Structure 1
């Protein structure tokens, strides 16, 4: 039996990853600040639901402790929880919105790596949801900064933890249609149209595409891979971002 913890598991990429890992035979601990959403997915997959605010280190520590008490081991930690955050020009971005995005997506990944690695006595896999924003500038400022931090933490922790047989990698999605992108565009149809208009490859990446990438990186076929970022974006990051991308209406998308 293998055990995986997934944060941000109530919807989108997290929920799709939970379903994929359950199909692959994992026992699951599904964490989200949306308790009812986590409980719904957990009920579907016979998993353990947990409320977890990843910006709170004590919550993340409690999540790891709960997994160890329930199953006695952690084979895979997937740090997926995230928001979009403040959208718009940097000159109009509220500092508190910037800090909130960093606390969830940067601090949250740090806490997840820290506490999961401490519990992985016999090796394991830690996977992080990065973004093409983390290898370029394809998003709003706070999200871009946070995802660059995720990429950096992935690489630095991979080097430290490699002698303990803990592999650390990240997946960098492009325009995946989830509730976050739908909230940005206004509808699922608009989110799909937006992605298709930008992607060089005529394919809109799905949450299941990202889940499959996580499954590969967690598996034995990726045993020689650590400290890497797997980009899944239909080619979007291969083209330059226009400066006008950031000149949109200022608002916050949680």
Structure 2
């Protein structure tokens, strides 16, 4: 059962997994967003840049990166991370050797590294490997992303600021937030594909600051007793307009399974 809770604020559209999860839900979620859209509005998605050096979880992430690489459970399809780890291993075990002429030796060292129980490995070596993996895997800013994603966001960029609109405390390592326009169904789906379908977006009048939104939407996953699955929270300075204009569109889109709780 889908539920729209109007007896709390922000309002909550509890979708569970009824629309699917990940790519199978992209098209329907894009239509949900467009139910809030009017021709006079822009849909601005957020891309958050984080300060790597101020991340309070950095040490834990480095440790986890070393453990995950040792267990061979990271995404390394192009072998870029493995090659850098091999060079760290060669520097540790045979610093006199040049990586350019010792690929086979580095392959053997990597195989040995993964065979040895992690608790028996040198702690300094694990720290170096964890840092290399963490650096390669961590996407803290748009510049860490692939050129296609960078071009998609930058070509639609409307504003960059530090406006924190979510209902929890602003993280200490927030750098800034990029707000980019994605008004069409195709652009919204592409945004999901390139960035994240757990999104935040603001629907604003043109030439209006993001903080003066008409609607602010935050889509995430919850695992609570009363709600297990995907939830869209809805903030608006004009609840009556939401009830008059948007709810009928949501009812038409989601059908009779949508329960409205007032």
Do both share a fold (TM > 0.5)?
no
Instruction: Identify, as 1 or 2, the structure richer in strand.
Output: 2
Instruction: Name which one, 1 or 2, has greater alpha-carbon Rg.
Output: 2
Q: TM-score scaled by structure 1? A: 0.26
